[in-house]
Amino acid sequence: MITNANFSNVGKLVEYMHGVPYDVSHTRLYNADELYEGYDPKRPETFDECFDTKIYRHYLETGKQTNDIRESMARTLHDHGVYVALGEFIREHDYLRCIGVMGGHGLLRTDRMYREIVFLSKRLTKMGFYMLSGGGPGAMEATHLGAWMADRHDDEVEDALHTMEKAPSFRCSGWLETAFEVMQKYPQTKYESLGIPTWLYGHEPSTPLATHIAKFFDNSIRENCILTLAFGGIIYTPGSAGTMQEIFQDAVQNHYLSFGFSSPMIFLGSHFWTEEMPTYPLLKTLMDNGKYKNLRLTLTDDPEEVMQELIKFQHSANVHPEDFCLH
């Protein structure tokens, strides 16, 4: 039964939602301008009051796992809108040309692997693929830097890397400023890439180099989207616990052919994936003894082999993008 008390509670809920620092009816993907509204790279202190920081501060103040039903509903409505917008973005593109790159947020801009990811992502983007990552720093940022610089000469990419190496880690002063500096020096609107970060890890700033940003409160939704939407395959670069979680979640989808087919799982960095974190031998053994099926596994140190595996899958996949969508 609807009572005056019910109406009063609804009114309080609406009033609360009008007071949160984010739009509960958000119906589009973010971009760097929107997420970092209020931030001036020439005045680094303005980061503390930009749009993204205000949301993260509110998120912490109300609790990562909030007990306030009003806040819980507000976050759910926001994430639903972003999820719908993400589905619309994917439907406008060839599903099988979406390539994911997974790896550690702590990968330094000065690291050899960072450079490899940049140039690999650059070549793949130029070939007509579009890149997807978790939208944060490290290997994720390298993915979007490569996509952003897809139309540039290699010496311009080297210049961009030199600029960004001044702040190797996202913990360093200048990390965000140097990314914006590169974007301003080398503007582009031709190539798109998709970052999917979360406020759960809000201490890791989202890379502004992703042209489209689907930022969620709920990390489980975010992780599912990252691994589901990389229909063209996922390149695994050295990481830690989060990357391991993604590997086995991806393996489950491929094992069960959850979307009618299995996508490539490419492990870049032989020593890391066989010695430091011996995930590849485990998956290979489980495949050989029948515990896992349908996995398309590749272990390599050669970016050229990565591209060839992805291209081979494109030519062999007997699926049609229109058969799939986010629900």
Kindly write down the DSSP assignment for every residue of 10-40, as one continuous string: HHHHHHHHHHSSS-TT--S-B-HHHHTTT-B
Spatial CA neighbour of 182 closest among 201, 203, 157 = 157
pLDDT of residue 12: 86
Structure tokens that stand for 169 in this block? 């880690």
| Of the candidates 234, 179, 184, the residue with the CA atom closest to the CA atom of residue 205 | 179
Give the CA angle between residues 145, 29, 175 to the nearest 5°: 35
6 pLDDT higher than 60 = no
Residues 6 or more apart whose CB falls under 8 angstroms from that of 188 comprise 148, 149, 150, 151
Q: Reduced to 3 states, what is the DSSP secondary structure of residue 155?
A: helix
| Mean pLDDT in residue range 208-225 | 97
Whole-angstrom distance, CA of residue 214 vs CA of residue 6: 34
Does the pTM surpass 0.75? The reply is yes
Looking at residue 5, what is its pLDDT? 44
Contact in structure between 11 and 3 (CB atoms under 8 Å): no
What is the per-residue pLDDT for 325? 53
23-55 pLDDT per residue, tens: 999 999 999 999 999 999 999 999 999 999 999
pLDDT at 115 over 60: yes
Of 241, 244, 205, 246, residue with least CA distance to 222: 246
Does position 101 have pLDDT exceeding 60, yes or no?
A: yes
The H or E element spanning position 251 is: helix 241-255
For residue 308, give the amino acid letter.
Q
| Beta pairing class for 98-102 and 130-133 | parallel
Distances (CA, A) of 207 to 85, 199, 203: 19, 13, 12
Determine the 3-state secondary structure of 213 from DSSP: strand
Report which residue type is found at 296.
Answer: R
12 versus 168: the higher-pLDDT residue is: 168
- For the stretch 293-306, pLDDT in tens is 999 999 999 999 99
Residue 235 has pLDDT above 80, yes or no: yes
- Residue 101 φ/ψ, nearest 5 degrees: -125, 120
Question: Residue 320, class by beta-carbon neighbours within 10 Å (0-12 exposed, 13-18 middle, 19+ buried)?
Answer: exposed
Domains (range + CATH), the chain: 4-85 (no CATH), 95-323 (3.40.50.450)
What is the average pLDDT across 219-235? 96
Q: Which strand (E) or helix (H) includes residue 268?
A: strand 264-268
Calculate mean pLDDT across residues 125-134: 97
